Structure 1
Amino acid sequence: MIRLNLVLLVAVLASAFYLVHTQYESRRLYTALDRAQAQTRKLDSEHEQLQVQKRGEATPARVQQLASRQLQMRPVNPAITQYVSVFVSPAARAGESVP
């Protein structure tokens, strides 16, 4: 009878320790999950801010301003336009091979 009581006492103690361990793990995992969700919200917010900045930088007026200031580009006009023409021999037009 004493052996049975000792075995049952050990089983109850083992069960109690396992229960405490399980609750501790559950709380630890819940805290980790909460931190991960907070990080997700922070990253989503940062992503939205970056999207707004991207749209602001890509406006046509902003691109025009950067092209004229940093790249020193200017609008096309006939005075500065250079036209390139390619010479094609009459033999090449007829389909013959030219050496």
Structure 2
Amino acid sequence: MMRLNLVLLVAVIASAMYLVQIQYQSRRLFVEVEKAQSLSRKLETERERLEVDKRSQATPLRVERLAKEQLQMRTATPAVTQYVKLPKLDAVEGTKP
């Protein structure tokens, strides 16, 4: 009977130690999951902010202003447009259309 009680005591102690170890690992993993979720939320916020910045940087008025100021470009008008005339194909190839 004493031997059975000793075996049961060892089994209970081993089970309790295993339970403590599992709880510790569970808490550690939970903390890691919380950190990962926090980082995910932070990165999602940063991505949304960058999307807003991208949209604000690509407005047509801003692009036009930068083209005029930094690239010294101007709006195309008929006065500054040059048209290029191609030679007729029948004269070049010797065939008639």
Q: TM-score range by the shorter chain?
A: 0.7 to 0.9
Deviates most, 81-90 or 12-21: 81-90
Q: Distance in 1 between matches of 2:96 and 2:21?
A: 88
TM-score, normalised relative to structure 2: 0.84
Whether 2:74 is the aligned partner of 1:74: answer yes
Distance 1:82 1:75 in 2: 14
Separation in 2, partners of 1:64, 1:89: 39
* Shift, 1:70, TM fit: 2.2
Unpaired segments of 5 or more residues in structure 1?
Answer: 95-99
State the shift of 1:30 in Å. 1.1
TM-score by length of 1: 0.83
Measured in 2, the distance between the counterparts of 1:83 and 1:45 equals 50
Would you say how many aligned residue pairs link Structure 1 and Structure 2? 94
Alignment-derived partner of residue 65 in structure 2? 65
Question: What's 1:45 paired with?
Answer: 45
- Could you say what secondary structure the match of 1:41 adopts? helix
Identity, % of aligned positions:
55
Q: Give SS of 1:11's match.
A: helix
Q: RMSD over aligned Cα, in angstroms?
A: 1.5
1:43-77 residue CA offsets vs partner (Å, 9 max, x unmatched):
12111211111111111110101111222211112
What's the CA shift for 1:33? 1.2
Corresponding residue of 1:97: none
Distance 1:2 1:93, change over 3 A: farther
Structure 2 residue runs without a partner (length 5+):
none
Q: 1:2 is aligned with what amino acid?
A: M
C-alpha distance in structure 1 between counterparts of 2:96 and 2:59, whole Å: 46
Once residues 84 and 31 of structure 2 are traced to their aligned partners in structure 1, the CA distance between those partners, rounded to angstroms, is: 69
> What is the CA–CA distance in structure 2 between the aligned matches of 1:60 and 1:24, rounded to whole Å?
57
